[in-house]
């Protein structure tokens, strides 16, 4: 099977070494390019809240005209609310970013590993399904999905190697097909 060292890596080794099964081998490992990917669902939720915050801040800080009373509330609570919204926006933007070294990917002869160093080290593995759809999107490739809890809601999200460059994504596509075909025969 083809073996390849991806962007940002010197060798195929990594935090997944201790988790390999008997006979399982790493065939690709790499790290994503630096990228800011907006989470549109969060973005659209944040826009109205940010607009309201800005409106109140501007209206509150505005000097009242002569004879006009300031009808808007105090700056403090609004500033706290604005700070909270900006924190949410910043956190979601950071979490959607792909940062070289902080996120690392590996593909073995059986499954894929995704390692994230912050906020705490986390290594997740995903078996490559025989009939799993493979979704090639420019510089990213998705090959599984998972259920995650967000607040009180459960959401399904696509899992894959994000922002690894179009050439790398195409190479991974071929490797995933090799894995699927090998499992069938």
Partner 1 sequence: MKEPRHDAPAKTGWEPYLDPDEKVLWQGGPDASVVLNAGSISALLFGLAFAGFALIWMIMAAMDGEFFWMFGLIHFSAGVGIAGGSLLWPAWRRRHSWYTLTDRRAFIATDMPVVGRKLKSYPIASDTVLEFENNTPASLFFHREYRRTKNGTREVRVGFERIQDGKRVYDLMRGIQRQAVAP
Binding residues (CB under 8 A) for partner 1: these are 41, 47-48, 51-52, 55, 130-138, 145, 153-157, 170, 173-174, 177, 180-181
Q: For partner 1, which is the closer residue by CB, 24 or 170? A: 170
Phi-psi sector, 92: left (phi>0), alpha (psi -120 to 50), beta: alpha
Q: Are strands 140-150 and 153-161 parallel, antiparallel or unpaired?
A: antiparallel
Q: For partner 1, which is the closer residue by CB, 16 or 143? A: 143
DSSP state of 139: T
How far apart are CB 14 and partner 1 at their closest, in Å?
Answer: 27
Q: For partner 1, which is the closer residue by CB, 12 or 144? A: 144
CA distance 29 to 10: 9
Q: For partner 1, which is the closer residue by CB, 1 or 130? A: 130
Q: Are 107 and 27 in contact (CB under 8 A)?
A: yes
Q: What SS3 state is found at 112? A: strand
How far apart are CB 89 and partner 1 at their closest, in Å?
Answer: 16
How far apart are CB 57 and partner 1 at their closest, in Å?
Answer: 14
CA distances (Å), 31 to each of 8, 79, 113, 159, in order? 6, 38, 11, 15
How far apart are CB 66 and partner 1 at their closest, in Å?
Answer: 17
Largest CA distance in the chain: 85
How far apart are CB 13 and partner 1 at their closest, in Å?
Answer: 29
Distance of CA 134 to the CA centre of its chain: 18
Q: For partner 1, which is the closer residue by CB, 123 or 145? A: 145
């Amino acid at each position: 099977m083809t073996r390849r060292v991806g962007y940002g890596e010197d060798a195929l080794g990594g935090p997944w070494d201790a988790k390999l099964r008997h006979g399982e081998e790493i065939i690709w490992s790499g790290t994503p390019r630096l990228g800011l990917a907006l989470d549109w669902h969060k973005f659209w939720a944040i826009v109205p809240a940010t607009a309201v915050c800005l409106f109140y801040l501007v209206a509150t800080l505005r000097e009242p005209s002569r004879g006009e009373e300031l009808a808007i509330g105090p700056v403090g609570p609004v500033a706290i609310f604005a700070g909270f919204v900006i924190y949410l926006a910043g956190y979601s933007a950071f979490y959607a970013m792909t940062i070289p070294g902080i996120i690392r990917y590996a593909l073995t002869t059986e499954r894929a590993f995704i390692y994230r160093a912050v906020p705490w080290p986390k290594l997740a593995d995903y078996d490559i399904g025989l009939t799993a759809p493979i979704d090639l999107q420019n510089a990213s490739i998705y090959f599984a999905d998972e259920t995650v809890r967000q607040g009180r809601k459960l959401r399904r999200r696509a899992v894959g190697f994000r922002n690894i460059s179009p050439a790398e994504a195409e190479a991974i596509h071929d490797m995933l097909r090799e894995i699927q075909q090998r499992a069938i025969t």
